[in-house]
A and B are shown apart, each in its own frame.
Chain A
Amino acid sequence: MKNVKVLGSGCNKCRVTIDTIRATAERLGVEIELEKVEDFARIAGYGVMATPSVVVDEVVVHTGSVPTAKSIEGWIA
C-alpha cells in the first residue's frame, strides 16, 4: 500500500488536493494511506517551497498546485 502525504497548512487548495486524491483512489479501487502534513518544520524537511505538495512513499512528486486526476492516477495506480 502506498503512503501519500499532502503537505500544506489549511489553504483551500490543500483541501481540494486531499479530496481529489481520495476520490481518485476510490474510483480506481486502490487502497492508499493518505496523510495530511501541516507542521511547517516537517514540510520544510521535504525541501518544498510551495504548497500544496504531494509526497508518495517519501518522494516529492508534485509541488505548488492542485494536481490533476491524471497525474494522481500515475502515482498511485
Chain B
Amino acid sequence: MIALITIFVGIMIGMSLLTMILYIFFAQITVKKLRKNSKTRDFLGVEYVSGWDIINVAQALAFPLSWSLKIENSKLSFMHAKASLLLENTNIFDRILGCVFYWFMILTGLFGITIVILNYLGLLSD
C-alpha cells in the first residue's frame, strides 16, 4: 500500500515540472515578443526578481477582462502588466498558452499549499 503523502508529493512534483516547462514555452513564445515590442515593453509590470514579468503577462492574459480592468484602475496597477494593451498585441494562441500556463501554475501552487495544510492537520500521516 502506497502512502497517501507519497502519492500527493509525486503528483506535486509532476505538476511543478509541467509548470516549469510551460513557463519556458510561454516566456520564449509570447513574452520574448512583448519585451521586444516598444509599445508593450514598459507595461509588463514590476519584476521583483528577474523573470517575474512572465508571470505578470500570464496573469494579464488569463484574468477575465473585468478583473483586469479593476486592476488597471487600482493604485497598485503599476505592479501588474497592462492587460488591455497586451490583448491588442497578442494573438489567440498567446492568450490560450498564457491562460493554460497561468491557471495550471496557480493550481499547482494551491495544491502545494493544500498539502502543507493537510500535513499540518495530520490528515496525511497514517
B and A form one assembly: no
Chain A interface residues toward B at CB < 8 A: none
Chain B interface residues toward A at CB < 8 A: none
